[in-house]
Each structure stands twice: as structure tokens, then as C-alpha cells.
Amino acid sequence: MLTSTNSASQVLQADRRLRWQIFTAAFAVRVLYVLLAHTFRIRPSDDHFEFGWEMGRIGRALATGFGYSDPFMGHTGPTAWTPPLYTLLVGGVFKVFGVYTKLSAFVLLTVNSLLSAWTAVLCYEIGLRCFGRRCAVWSGWLWALYPAALQYAVRWIWEMSATAAVFAAIVVVMLRLSGVGDDEQPAQPWSLWAAFGLLWAALAMLNPTPMLMLPFTALYALFAGGWRMELRSRVVKAAFAGLLFVAALAPWTARNYAVFHRFIPLRDNFGAENFEGNSDWSTGFPWGRTVPLENRAILAEYSRMSEPAWTADRGAKANAWIHAHPKQFAELSVKRAWMYWAGVPKSVQEAGVLEYGRLISFQFLSLAGILGAALAVRRRVPAGWVFALAMVLLPLPYYAVTVQARFRHVLEPMICVLGVYLFQSATRGRRGDAAAPGRRAGVARQS
């Protein structure tokens, strides 16, 4: 049995086989589901639009020689509608395995499954460093086997699984840099700061919304764990990470400027999304398609104006509506905030009686994650305030514009760990042991 003096690094070394088992089980479950449920057979309606939606369309353009363009119907010209990383993956898979083929779908869902399985291992390390080995084991296996954790990996050709994995990896690197769970002062090697900068760049090119947490994770990595004795060295390494981050984003931003003659660092679709979410017809529920494929007039307008001008025009209309209807905007935002955490309901006729179970599961996980974050802050768990801040900040853009269940997925690895911590804390409390883990000791206290 491990003793209370074991550091996180020592436990990670000892548990290498366990982590491999968690990863293997998670990956096998996901791939088996793809094969048995035939989720690689995607409906060909609307010229295969459900095969990756806008990313699938751009991937097709890339694979067929039209470049990074045409996110909807026909050849509408260059685009920056979606960030490039996952979209380039789709285009590469199409080039090798065929455009909109079942084999391409299987390859992409397998990549999703690989990333989702890696997330289980990351949940293990977050739990270990912050809450102890018992929490780590339960968190890893819960992510590996719980159906809600794998749903996007096995069904959606979109970036959710990649975004969740990369954000969880950033949290792990942040904890390593700050020495959470380790007995010794964090060494903060150059390689770890490089990983921090490059992971943030990868996340920005998958989904820019979680970048709201970039400054706070950087500050925690920079100042936590005995920083006063080596602040200059840390600042230099953090600056190096920042340079890598900027260098990784620069080619995409330069491409956008060269094509559109505008500064578009990552994507340009916010104005159009805002227009759909905040207009006379808005109800707070998710809309259909921001650019309706069947509406030739809108498609012609979009193509004629160029994408940045068209989205800017729609954004201006949305802002005017918000200023003219502040009470309605506030009501819509409250409704969207509720649905972000409680789930976006579907009719029983559409989804069947299982819809009740889905909503109960969604709400239970939200409540467990929120209470777990509050408990971590109250007990001054290492990085607890970072977890709580992520729960506050990351949903904010969706409250203001739109909401779907998949938007919570980036937080779900954290929700998984915090939920396990909450219930294990309740168990320890009944046994008279409610002490929170120390900053550098007690990593294996629960083993």
C-alpha cells in the first residue's frame, strides 16, 4: 500500500499499468460502440451535410482542390467560419479515405475515441494531484465507462472530444508546473512550459471559447508553489510559452489577413450566430442552421458580400436588437443559462421516454460538478478556485448567444472529477475524516 508521503509523480509511476488499463478499456468501449451501433453510417441528407456540417464541407473543399472554403452549399469562396485544426483533420482524412465515405467516418470517430480515452487518463491525474488516489481511480474509470462521457466521441464528427481532451491536458500541465501533489518544489522545465503554450494554441484552433481561461491557468502556473525564489526564471519560461502560442497561431491569422484583408485571428462567425440567437424570432432555444441550406437568397447574399462582411452586418443587426430590447435579451440569457446546466429539452415524441433519463443525468452531473467546485474552494483544495472559475467563465458566451448540450462537454472532465470528489467527501465526512488534501502531501491518502 502506498503511504501518505508518496508524491503524485511517484504514484503515477506506480500506477502506469492502471492508467493503461483505463485508457484501453475506454478506447475499446468507444470503438465497439461505433462498430455495433453503425454510427459511421451517416445520413446522406442535404448532400451529406450532417457528416461534419461546416467542417465536413470545408474538408471536402480541401480534399477536392478548392482550398479552405465553401462551408455550406456550392462554391461560395474562402472561409474562416471554423478554426482550422479539426477541419484540417477532416480534410486530410477525406483526401486519404474518400469524401463522405463510411471509412472516413469510421477513421474520424476512431480519432475522437482515442482522444476521449486519453481524457480518462487525464481525469485520473487531475483527481490524483488535487484530491487523492481514490478519487483519481474512480474519476478515470467513470470517464472511461459512463455513457454520457463517450456520446460525442462516437456520434459527432466535430471538435468536442478534441476540445475536452486538450483542455484537460492544459489543466494537467498547469498542475505539474505548480507542483500540486508533489513533495518537491516544481522544477518547471522548459519542455513543460512549451507544452503549455502549444496546447493552448491547439485549443484556440479547435474552439476559441475556452481561451477565457488562458490568463488564469497561466497565472496559477506562474505564481503557485514557492514562486518567490525563482520568479525571474518562471517569467522567462512563461514568455517562451507565449511566443510559441503566438507563433503557432500566426500562419492561420496571416492567411486570413491575406485572403480577407482583415484581422481575423481565429474565426469570423460570431456575428451571424449572435444574429440568430438575438433577434425578433429568438426564443432562447437552439435555432436551426445559421445559414439555411435551402434558402438560396441568403446563400447568394452570403457569397456576394464575402463572409466577413456578411457576418459583420448580421452582428451589427444583433447588437442593435439587443440595445433596443434589453429586457428580452436578459430573459433569453437567463433561459439559456438554465438550459446550459439543466439540458436543452426535446419533446417526448421526438426523443422518446429516454429523454427524461437524459435530462435527469445531465442535471445530476451539473449539480455534482457545481457543488464539488464549491466544496473544493471552501476547503482550499489546490487549484480549486481555477476549477470554480472555469465553471463560471466558460459558459458565459453561450448564455448570451445560444446553448446546446454539447457546449458543456469541455467542462465535463472537470465535472467528472469534482463530482467524484463531492461524493467521496460525503463518505469521509460520515466516517469522521473530512479533511481536504494538502497541497503537497496526502496524494495517496485515500488509497
Digit-coded pLDDT (tens) for 304-354: 999 999 999 999 999 999 999 999 999 999 999 999 999 998 755 566 677
Q: State residue 438's pLDDT score.
A: 45
Q: State residue 1's pLDDT score.
A: 32
Q: Please determine, for residue 433, whether its predicted confidence score (pLDDT) is greater than 50.
A: no
Distance set, CA 309 to CA 54, 184, 316 (Å): 19, 54, 11
Question: Residue 429 — very low, low, confident or very high, per pLDDT cuts 50/70/90?
Answer: low
Domain residue ranges in the chain: 326-430
Strand partners, 69: 78
373, 379, 383, 386: CA torsion to nearest 10 = 40
Q: Please determine, for residue 294, whether its predicted confidence score (pLDDT) is greater than 90.
A: no
Strand partners, 104: none
Q: Is 69 helix (H, G, I), strand (E, B) or coil?
A: strand
Question: Residue 440 — very low, low, confident or very high, per pLDDT cuts 50/70/90?
Answer: very low
* Alpha-carbon span 234 to 193, nearest angstrom: 9
Q: State residue 227's pLDDT score.
A: 59
pLDDT digits (tens, 9 = 90+) for 214-261: 999 999 999 886 656 678 889 999 999 999 999 999 999 999 999 999
Distance set, CA 166 to CA 116, 353, 396, 443 (Å): 10, 34, 20, 24
Q: State residue 355's pLDDT score.
A: 78
Q: 430 or 310: which carries more pLDDT confidence? A: 310
Burial of 45 (0-12, 13-18, 19+ CB in 10 A): exposed
Question: Residue 191 — very low, low, confident or very high, per pLDDT cuts 50/70/90?
Answer: very high
Distance set, CA 225 to CA 80, 177, 181, 290, 383 (Å): 40, 9, 11, 46, 11
pLDDT digits (tens, 9 = 90+) for 18-27: 999 999 999 9
Look at 88-97, 229-238, 241-250, 271-280 and tell me which has the smallest mean pLDDT. 229-238
pTM tops 0.85, yes or no: yes
Look at 44-53, 89-98, 428-437 and tell me which has the smallest mean pLDDT. 428-437
Distance set, CA 217 to CA 198, 203, 410 (Å): 14, 13, 15
* Alpha-carbon span 27 to 331, nearest angstrom: 42
Q: 421 or 224: which carries more pLDDT confidence? A: 421
Q: With beta carbons less than 8 A apart as the criterion, state whether 142 and 420 touch.
A: yes
Q: State residue 443's pLDDT score.
A: 46
Q: 430 or 171: which carries more pLDDT confidence? A: 171
* Alpha-carbon span 18 to 25, nearest angstrom: 11
* Alpha-carbon span 413 to 171, nearest angstrom: 10
